[in-house]
Amino acid sequence: MELPEFPPGLSARVELTVTDADTAQTLGSGDVPVLATPRVLALAEAATVAATARHLPGGITTVGVRAEIAHLLPSPVGHRVHALATLAKTEGRTLFFEVVVRHNDDLVAEVRVERAVLDRQRFIQKAIG
């Protein structure tokens, strides 16, 4: 498998308006009606996927392999948040992203996400065994 080129600084932004379905109460990660940490992570990962999408040839994909999150500020239902993922570096098949999640100018979370580049079909075949 030939690895595609991923230019440093590669980035993408995704947005979310917090709904009841996104809260800690609904997702079982707490009992408060604010944006759940697992949903923050999913939003961050979605931004990393969006950043790589234009650079992946057919048959190649990325999967998340590691994440570190600092959820710093609550976001109640109705708040619009956005995640901006920026590729910090690559090492072999691993992509290292820095993601910031914000509501307006307020920092909601900082997330580091590592993704591995791999052959999509081979990965699926291995997964279903």
What is the per-residue pLDDT across 23-34, written as a single tens digit (0 to 9) for each? Answer: 999 999 999 999
Torsion sign over Cα 95, 52, 123, 98: positive
Distance of CA 19 to the CA centre of its chain: 19
pLDDT at 2: 76
User: Which fold, 11-128?
Assistant: Thiol Ester Dehydrase; Chain A (3.10.129)
- In this structure, what is the dihedral angle of CA atoms 101, 106, 109, 110, given to the nearest 10 degrees? 80
Helix or strand holding residue 108 (H, E)? strand 106-119
For 44, the token pair is: 């961050």
Sequence ranges of the domains in the chain: 11-128
Q: What does the alpha-carbon distance between residue 110 and residue 112 come to, in Å, rounded to a whole number?
A: 7
Sites in the chain below the pLDDT cut of 70: 1
Cβ-proximal residues to 53 (8 Å cutoff; 6+ apart), any chain: 12
